[in-house]
């Protein structure tokens, strides 16, 4: 059920868009729902970030696996155990841009029913980095629909992305890579028993959603052509807050737009929001200087304690009668 329920939820979204456009509800699917999804996305992410930012972190808790700054003649691992803000920036940059911790990820496997061995798991890193960078480039390419004139860098990006000149229009590699990487991450959740055991419906739903978004985008570009002039007229109307519904835009576009809107609206309430959360993770963004500075919990409040001297002062005579040794006679 945790696989079938999100699968049929995405199918229901597709059917909803098809039936809605057939019923001439173009304004609802082309204007109202995208605006609502963008509103939920922006304010939902802001809410999550502010909530995380307000969480107190009184202790020094960075995750480390290297030598901390110590004596001058002991070599420090500045990326694994950062002792300054510059070191933290370098560590975060490698984590965000290259998925450094995932690259060094290992997998455990039980062999011969008795021997547990560890091995490299670079396929997960490759699938993850291909998925994220393909998604990023696809998003950047779509800025063409929301800007007039088209930014110059998009021509360079599209030339790089479309270096495989296969037919007309030319093939954008990132669309295929995005679909393949999302399919790989989905199949991994099914075929790896440990991952399948801990996976929830909330893990499968965004994968199905992204795979359908990539698939409908490919279908629109290479199979069922969509009036790109009409699409740009719609998107520019959304940006300028003077929406118009052009004629000639097929239902496949509204299916694609509804799926994208669903992803944006779902984003703040899902694990996808780690895109913003990674920068607020105290295990990553803190300086490991627990040897240099003492971190005192600010929540600690003065507590009235009953010292031993006070205890003996109160019960000295009774202690002496019970033959319990006392410090003061």
Q: How does pLDDT run across 32-69, given as a tens digit for each residue?
A: 999 999 999 999 999 999 998 888 888 888 888 888 88
Residue 162 pLDDT more than 80?
no
pLDDT at residue 151, as a whole number: 83
Question: Would you state the pLDDT for residue 166?
Answer: 63
Q: Which own/partner contact pairs does 45-54 have at CB distance under 8 Å and 24+ positions apart?
A: 45/267, 45/268, 45/273, 45/276, 47/268, 48/268, 48/273, 48/276, 48/277, 49/276, 49/277, 49/280, 52/277, 52/280, 53/280
Cβ(259)–Cβ(212) under 8 Å?
yes
Return d(Cα 57, Cα 300) in angstroms, integer: 13
Size of the chain in residues: 329
Cα 240–246–251 angle (5° rounding)?
A: 115
**Mean pLDDT lowest for which of 11-20, 127-136, 158-167, 306-315?**
158-167
User: What's the pLDDT score for residue 324?
Assistant: 87
Which residue, among 20, 4, 6, 51, has the nearest Cα to 210 in the 3D structure? Answer: 6
Report the range of poorest mean pLDDT among 14-28, 140-154, 160-174, 204-218.
Answer: 160-174
| Bridge partners for 106 per DSSP | 120
Q: If you classify domain 4-321 with CATH, what class do you get? A: mainly alpha
pLDDT at 147 (0 to 100): 83
Distance CA 221, CA 165 (A): 14
Give the pLDDT confidence of 100-120 residue by residue, as tens digits: 888 887 777 777 767 777 777
Q: What is the pTM of this model?
A: 0.82
How many CA atoms lie less than 13 Å away from 240 in the CB half-sphere? 12
The mean pLDDT of the chain is 87
Q: Which tens digits make up the pLDDT trace of 260-307? A: 999 999 999 998 998 888 888 888 889 998 888 887 777 778 878 888
């Amino acid at each position: 059920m945790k696989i079938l329920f999100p699968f049929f939820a995405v199918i229901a979204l597709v059917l909803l868009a098809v039936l809605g456009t057939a019923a001439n509800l173009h304004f609802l699917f082309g204007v109202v729902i995208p605006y609502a999804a963008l509103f939920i996305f922006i304010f939902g992410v802001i809410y999550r970030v502010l909530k995380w930012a307000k969480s107190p972190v009184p202790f020094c808790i960075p995750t480390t696996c290297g030598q901390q700054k110590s004596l001058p003649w002991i070599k420090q691992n500045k990326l694994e155990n950062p002792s300054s803000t510059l070191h933290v920036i370098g560590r975060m940059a490698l984590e965000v841009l290259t998925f450094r911790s995932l690259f060094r990820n290992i997998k455990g496997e039980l062999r011969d029913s008795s021997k547990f061995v560890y091995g490299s798991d670079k396929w997960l890193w490759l699938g993850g980095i291909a998925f994220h960078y393909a998604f990023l480039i696809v998003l950047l390419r779509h800025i063409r629909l929301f800007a007039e004139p088209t930014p110059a860098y998009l021509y360079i990006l599209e030339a790089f992305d479309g270096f495989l000149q296969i037919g007309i229009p030319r093939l954008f590699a990132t669309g295929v890579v995005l679909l393949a990487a999302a399919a790989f991450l989905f199949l991994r959740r099914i075929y790896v028993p440990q991952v399948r055991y801990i996976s929830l419906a909330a893990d499968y739903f965004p994968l199905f959603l992204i795979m359908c978004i990539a698939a409908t985008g490919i279908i629109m570009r290479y199979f069922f052509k969509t009036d790109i002039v009409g699409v740009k007229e719609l998107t520019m109307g959304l940006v300028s807050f003077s929406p118009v519904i052009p004629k000639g835009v097929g239902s496949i576009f509204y299916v694609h737009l509804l799926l994208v809107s669903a992803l944006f609206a779902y984003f703040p309430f899902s694990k996808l929001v780690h895109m913003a959360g990674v920068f607020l993770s105290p295990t990553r963004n803190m300086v490991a200087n627990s040897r240099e500075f003492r971190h005192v919990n600010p929540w600690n409040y003065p507590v009235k304690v009953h010292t031993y001297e006070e205890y003996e002062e109160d019960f000295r005579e009774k202690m002496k009668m019970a033959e319990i040794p006392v410090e003061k006679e």
